[in-house]
Chains A and B, each alone.
Chain A
């Protein structure tokens, strides 16, 4: 009799435990029903033998808020990626990202200009790292770069960014 009670107690515990496991599983399943979409991150390879270039890296991320997430990943690339790094100047943050028609408006913190260290190729890597990445998202054809909400002439004096830019292929490896 005593043994049976213990068994019943254990069975109840098992049922509670199992339901907990299934609950978590179910929750996970709901999470996995999220919609994923592929974007291409254009990351910098500064030590490529053919000169610094952008390297396209395909990555599947959640479709929700994809433009913001993609640019955020461009700023903080996943660490498993080898030999490539963020083309953006240190400390740069993405303040906001919005799409109007086929133009993406990306508003960055002041570090995008202030921490830019110069160099023509470097400027190509920064500007087209952003533009090419954003334009890899369906429906985006051009990108207007803003710094603290304002249109500026240039980041480093080689490329004009006063108007929305289309992607560039020449800088891509």
Chain B
């Protein structure tokens, strides 16, 4: 080799080394788009964002009329990963170290439903766009799996007991490539499992005959008033044996039905006094027993009858609990926001301040002795609300709010307290809110909001529903729903002041 070519080699070598030591601001990367892998995709980084020269046509069903911004560079069209990530049901991730982009479908708990009836157990995963998936049975222990390509699971993990020694588990199996693994843990002698074909928008897993001959399914619980008494009806697919227990502290009636299982369509009935809550569970698996519990406001006599596929329970005679006890108390109701401060505003223009005031007025109608921090659409400072409670020497303070999160997120009912002296009040009111409104239970939480931190008495802040959530905004726009919130607050107060200390 001549000296010249040696020098040239040296050049090339140095050039190669020096080019490696600088961060890549642009170049080629790997891309996983809805489970498909693409190599050598052009990208560049700018303003904390990644721009990719990708073909967005596979995404078109999700984009609908949405116009994505694009940047032209070197004859190619680049799309912003941040912007793609903001598209509903899309999830985009960038791994700078591996130079790999992942664009997948957001998979949430609500995308998965399961249904059981005496003849089959069916799982169904619904996706906004068809994805390819692989299925199979693994042993030790026996389990059926579905690997969904191009899916990103939110939250991190789902684990649910289905009953009959079955368990559903969902997890992000790997992130690059982005695969979500859906697993059903099967009993030792596994039933037959059938899968729907891939790719599809609907992934179905059938377990036929798993439940045959296993007893009756509890399909519905209904409550109605008959001649001044409340009658509860438990509808079953066939009659099984049952046992009842009338319990004290707190007063409740429990019914055990054997053999039986819960129908997935079972929903919470609207409660009627003296029943404050209806609960049920698969109490035991062997023998399969369903327990239904009626929580009662007070001790009361019951009369139970059964017919084929129906158990009826009659709860004493109905009379409203005495309100007089509450009328002697100074209960402050604080409608949140007002005047120049609208609070949250829904997509249809519903203002939180108006809803809060309407609910407070409804509470006053049910319980005229309550005191409101504002009677109209006016500004009241946070300190002004606390001062009001101090001036009237309040026994309890309840701030009425409705919630919001950015981008139409958020769901359910939450109750907040701050000091320990307020926890019990929060629990009583929250329990009734959850059973009356039937929205997801956001829980009783401790947060230092100004009015509940500084009020001179036990104080809570309720967030009935999310105005930012279009479905819940619709509910809040209805008088029925606002009346339910008002009734729940009054009922919660009754229970709180009627409790045994």
B197-205, B210-218, B299-307, B446-454 - the one binding chain A? B446-454
Least CB distance, B380 to chain A, in whole angstroms: 10
Chain B residues within 8 Å of A121, by CB: 403, 405, 410, 414, 447, 463
How would you classify the secondary structure of chain B's contact residues: helix, strand, loop or mixed?
mixed
The proximity string for B residues 40-54 relative to A, scoring 1 for CB distances below 8 Å and 0 otherwise, is 000000001110000
Chain A residues within 8 Å of B117, by CB: none
The reply to whether A21 and B14 contact each other, CB–CB distance below 8 Å, is: yes
Known contacts A52-B405, A154-B450, A159-B449: A46-B381 contact under CB 8 Å: no
The reply to whether A51 and B48 contact each other, CB–CB distance below 8 Å, is: no
Quick one: closest B residue to A123, CB to CB?
A: B449
Cβ of B74 < 8 Å from any Cβ of A?
Answer: no
| Complex Cα gap A24–B343 (Å) | 55
Cβ of A49 < 8 Å from any Cβ of B?
Answer: yes
Interface residues of A in 97-128 (CB under 8 A from B): 117-122, 124
Least CB distance, B45 to chain A, in whole angstroms: 9
Cβ of B250 < 8 Å from any Cβ of A?
Answer: no
Name the contact of A171 in the complex, choosing from B3, B344, B447, B461 (C-beta under 8 A).
Answer: B447
Chain B residues within 8 Å of A158, by CB: 336, 401, 449-450, 461
The reply to whether B406 and A14 contact each other, CB–CB distance below 8 Å, is: no
Cβ of B277 < 8 Å from any Cβ of A?
Answer: no
Cβ of A18 < 8 Å from any Cβ of B?
Answer: yes
The proximity string for B residues 154-186 relative to A, scoring 1 for CB distances below 8 Å and 0 otherwise, is 110000000000000000000000000000000
Least CB distance, B4 to chain A, in whole angstroms: 6
| Complex Cα gap A76–B351 (Å) | 29
Chain A residues within 8 Å of B38, by CB: none
The reply to whether A83 and B154 contact each other, CB–CB distance below 8 Å, is: yes
| Complex Cα gap A117–B408 (Å) | 10
| Complex Cα gap A54–B442 (Å) | 16
Least CB distance, A153 to chain B, in whole angstroms: 6
Q: How many contacts between A and B, using CB within 8 angstroms?
A: 119
Cβ of A6 < 8 Å from any Cβ of B?
Answer: yes
Interface residues of B in 318-349 (CB under 8 A from A): 336-337, 341-345
Scoring A7, A24, A160 by chain B CB atoms within 10 A of each residue's CB, the highest score goes to A160
Cβ of B383 < 8 Å from any Cβ of A?
Answer: yes
What is the interface size of chain B, counting residues whose CB is below 8 A from a CB of the partner? 54
The reply to whether A14 and B10 contact each other, CB–CB distance below 8 Å, is: yes
Cβ of A156 < 8 Å from any Cβ of B?
Answer: yes
Chain A residues within 8 Å of B446, by CB: 170
Interface residues of A in 7-51 (CB under 8 A from B): 7, 10-11, 14, 17-18, 21, 24-25, 46-49, 51
Chain A residues within 8 Å of B381, by CB: 153
Quick one: closest A residue to B106, CB to CB?
A: A47
Cβ of B481 < 8 Å from any Cβ of A?
Answer: no
Cβ of B96 < 8 Å from any Cβ of A?
Answer: yes
Cβ of A78 < 8 Å from any Cβ of B?
Answer: yes
The reply to whether B7 and A10 contact each other, CB–CB distance below 8 Å, is: yes
The reply to whether B450 and A159 contact each other, CB–CB distance below 8 Å, is: yes
Chain B residues within 8 Å of A10, by CB: 4, 7-8
Quick one: closest A residue to B102, CB to CB?
A: A82
| Complex Cα gap A25–B155 (Å) | 45
Cβ of A62 < 8 Å from any Cβ of B?
Answer: no
| Complex Cα gap A35–B75 (Å) | 41
Chain B residues within 8 Å of A11, by CB: 7
The proximity string for B residues 5-20 relative to A, scoring 1 for CB distances below 8 Å and 0 otherwise, is 0011011001000100
| Complex Cα gap A159–B81 (Å) | 35
Cβ of B94 < 8 Å from any Cβ of A?
Answer: yes
Name the contact of B344 in the complex, choosing from A6, A46, A80, A119 (C-beta under 8 A).
Answer: A119
The reply to whether A120 and B416 contact each other, CB–CB distance below 8 Å, is: yes
Quick one: closest B residue to A44, CB to CB?
A: B406
Interface residues of A in 110-161 (CB under 8 A from B): 117-122, 124, 153-154, 156-160
The reply to whether A160 and B4 contact each other, CB–CB distance below 8 Å, is: no
| Complex Cα gap A156–B443 (Å) | 22
| Complex Cα gap A171–B449 (Å) | 12
Chain A residues within 8 Å of B10, by CB: 14
Chain A residues within 8 Å of B50, by CB: 79
| Complex Cα gap A78–B447 (Å) | 29
| Complex Cα gap A168–B450 (Å) | 13
Cβ of B382 < 8 Å from any Cβ of A?
Answer: yes
Quick one: closest A residue to B446, CB to CB?
A: A170
The reply to whether A119 and B11 contact each other, CB–CB distance below 8 Å, is: no
Chain B residues within 8 Å of A117, by CB: 344-345, 404-406, 468
Cβ of B409 < 8 Å from any Cβ of A?
Answer: yes
Least CB distance, B168 to chain A, in whole angstroms: 16
Known contacts A10-B4, A119-B344: A153-B382 contact under CB 8 Å: yes
Name the contact of B403 in the complex, choosing from A24, A76, A89, A119 (C-beta under 8 A).
Answer: A119
Cβ of B93 < 8 Å from any Cβ of A?
Answer: yes
Name the contact of B155 in the complex, choosing from A18, A21, A47, A77 (C-beta under 8 A).
Answer: A47
| Complex Cα gap A21–B16 (Å) | 12
Cβ of B467 < 8 Å from any Cβ of A?
Answer: yes
Cβ of B134 < 8 Å from any Cβ of A?
Answer: no
Cβ of B82 < 8 Å from any Cβ of A?
Answer: yes
The reply to whether B403 and A120 contact each other, CB–CB distance below 8 Å, is: yes
The reply to whether B7 and A14 contact each other, CB–CB distance below 8 Å, is: yes
Chain B residues within 8 Å of A14, by CB: 7, 10-11
| Complex Cα gap A46–B383 (Å) | 29
Chain B residues within 8 Å of A25, by CB: 21
Least CB distance, A84 to chain B, in whole angstroms: 12
16 residue pairs of the A-B complex, CB under 8 angstroms, read A7-B3, A17-B14, A21-B18, A24-B18, A47-B154, A47-B409, A48-B155, A51-B445, A79-B49, A119-B405, A119-B410, A124-B449, A154-B382, A154-B450, A157-B382, A160-B450
* Residues in A lying within 8 Å of B, measured CB to CB: 3, 6-7, 10-11, 14, 17-18, 21, 24-25, 46-49, 51-52, 76-80, 82-83, 89-90, 117-122, 124, 153-154, 156-160, 168, 170-171
What are the 3 tightest A-B residue pairs by CB atom distance, in nearest-first order?
A: A118-B344, A119-B404, A118-B404
Q: A17-B14, A124-B447, A157-B343 are in contact. List 8 more A-B contacts (CB 8 A).
A: A10-B8, A51-B414, A51-B443, A52-B410, A79-B81, A79-B94, A118-B468, A158-B461
